[in-house]
Amino acid sequence: MRNHLLSTFVILHLGLLGWVLDLRGQEPVIRATVDVVNVVCTVRDRHGNYVSDLKKEDFQMTEDKVGQQIKFFHNESGDDAQALTIVLLIDTSGSVKEKLAFEQVAATEFLKRTLRTNKDMAAIVQFDSDINLVQDFTYDHDLLSHAIVEMRAGGATKLYDAIWLAAQDLLGQEVGRKVIVILSDGADTQSIVSEKDAIRIAQEEDVVIYGIGVRSRRFDSNFGKLKKFSESTGGVFFNSKADLEKLREAFNRINHEIKNQYMLGYVSTNTKRDGSFRKLRVTVRGSGLKVNYRKGYYAPLASP
């Protein structure tokens, strides 16, 4: 297990004391140094069916309305799809306690269906008042299943902190396709990281977020936040209604999304490293085709 991951999660367990001291009371400054902008997308026809036979020439990309040349392209729908790395973030706060058993069953089934043997990996993180890496990246389905089943619920909710850590410390050094799947009611109550910074780090690390809303009748929820995280990174949000079959349906749709992706990459014609937000637009040739992708990203910042 990675030493830097352990230290980060220990700091969080202690209430982020070390993190706050290092930052002298400021929010974390997030910087990117890569010049290639990667955009993951899916394409559906007017009937909602995935279109998986498109070529690079079928796509057009603009950044702030300026055309960009797509230099890198990969169809992720076939057997040669790039390796997939998934972080499963499971809300174990008291507000979703009564639904945890459903989450555990559906999440275990999802990983068994989605991960390809000895090619795709997953890690399991539970978050409530603390954030715990209960299983580091592994190909082993038994280890993943055991980690999920052993989780217990209780406490508050550090959703934004969990997303930030998953994107930065778990997925930041990974290659290939990177995905976070969140099961939560979306109601953050204790995070230090802001919603904006959590979205920003996910975008900078090319992470696609899929949110599954799990609602309890006795507590507030904020599915709008989960939807915003998903849409900001090119993912999709699903309202499971906290029912086991609805959870299975949501995971099944995420499985299909992952297996029908395209990866587009370009080097921006805007060379300013000013940290500004840049709007993206992806279109495809063909009548009635709808593209799902992240709608923008934050430019890298110049080194101090």
Task: List b or e across 51-65, with b for residues whose CB sees 16 or more CB atoms inside 10 angstroms.
Answer: beebeeebbebebee
pLDDT value at residue 301: 86
Q: Has residue 11 been placed in a domain?
A: yes
- Which of 11-20, 89-98, 234-243 is predicted with the least confidence, judged by mean pLDDT? 11-20
Q: Has residue 107 been placed in a domain?
A: yes
Over residues 118-136, the pLDDT tens digits come to 999 999 999 999 999 999 9
Give the mean pLDDT of 162-191.
93
The verdict on 164 and 100 lying in the same domain is: yes
Q: Has residue 117 been placed in a domain?
A: yes
- HSE-CB for 124 with a 13 A CA cutoff: 24
The verdict on 16 and 131 lying in the same domain is: yes
The verdict on 161 and 227 lying in the same domain is: yes
Over residues 27-44, the pLDDT tens digits come to 343 334 457 999 999 999
Q: Has residue 304 been placed in a domain?
A: no
Q: Has residue 166 been placed in a domain?
A: yes
Pairing of strands 131-138, 177-184: unpaired
Query: Domains in the chain: how many in total?
Result: 2
Q: Cα separation of 27 and 35, whole Å? A: 24
Q: Has residue 103 been placed in a domain?
A: yes
Q: What radius of gyration, in Å, describes the C-alpha atoms of the chain?
A: 19
Q: Has residue 16 been placed in a domain?
A: yes
The verdict on 10 and 43 lying in the same domain is: no
Chain-wide mean pLDDT for the chain? 86
The verdict on 185 and 41 lying in the same domain is: no
The verdict on 16 and 153 lying in the same domain is: yes
The verdict on 231 and 115 lying in the same domain is: yes
Range of the domain at 142: 3-30+82-258
CATH number at residue 18: 3.40.50.410
pLDDT value at residue 155: 81
Q: Has residue 303 been placed in a domain?
A: no
Question: Tokens standing for 94?
Answer: 């008291």
Give the mean pLDDT of 35-62.
96
The verdict on 120 and 193 lying in the same domain is: yes
Question: Using 50, 70 and 90 to split pLDDT, how confident is the model at 47?
Answer: very high
